[in-house]
Amino acid sequence: IKAGFVQELEAGLRLHPMTAEAIFKGYLEACKVVVKSDLPCLPLRLQAEACENVGLNTELARILETAQFSHEDPEAMLRWDTLAGGERGVQRSAGVGWSLWTLGREEEALKLLFETAARPNLSPDDRLSIYKNMVWVLAQKHDFAEAKKVETLAEPYLTGATLEGAGRFLNNLFLLYFELGD
């Protein structure tokens, strides 16, 4: 710390960026081994950052399927999605969709979210989870036609969903009717 190679932060210690860059350049494969072995010890956000720093894109793709960073850091979510490459699973696809929405790319976001919710083999709860967020943001935006479209798409899955899954969707759907004054 005194020499400046390590910086003290509120959350702990980190290598000075110049030191880290030098280590990554000279010992990238060794860094990958260390990062891979220590991933389970880190919170998901730090796991994603560590994978990005050393180029562990397969591990990054796995992390994006278990956590969404769309509200926390939508730019990072999109950057990590690009780095991870390959096909997106449902969770990653939804995370990318909500990141696009958060960044104001609403048309692109809705297209991706509708495609994600229409995937085969999704459980009714998984579909309703995507639809509940869509109906909420569309009602807030007063895009009632699109919100009604989401309601129509979601309706067949209400009977197959768990009570909690159906309840969560219906809880968000109320906003549409509230905004319509109905």
Average pLDDT score over residue span 132-148: 96
pTM (2 d.p.) = 0.84
Distance, in Å, from the CA atom of 97 to the CA atom of 110, rounded to the nearest integer, reads 7
Decide if pLDDT at 151 tops 90.
Answer: yes
pLDDT in tens, 49-77: 999 989 999 999 999 999 889 989 999 99
Buried b (16+ CB within 10 A) or exposed e, 118-152: eeeebebbbbbbbbbbbbbbbbeeebeebbebbbe
Q: Are 122 and 148 contacting, i.e. CB atoms less than 8 angstroms apart?
A: no
Res. 80: pLDDT tops 80: yes
Structure tokens at 88: 């997106």
What pLDDT, on a 0 to 100 scale, did the predictor assign at position 136?
96
Provide the 3-class DSSP secondary structure of residue 56.
coil
Binning pLDDT at 50, 70 and 90, where does residue 142 land?
Answer: very high
What average pLDDT score do residues 93-99 get? 96
Closest CA to 106 of 158, 142, 82, 60: 142
Instruction: Report in angstroms the alpha-carbon separations of 128 from 17, 94, 106, 135, 155.
Output: 43, 12, 20, 10, 9
Q: Does the structure show a pLDDT above 80 at 19?
A: yes
pLDDT over 90 percentage in the chain? 71
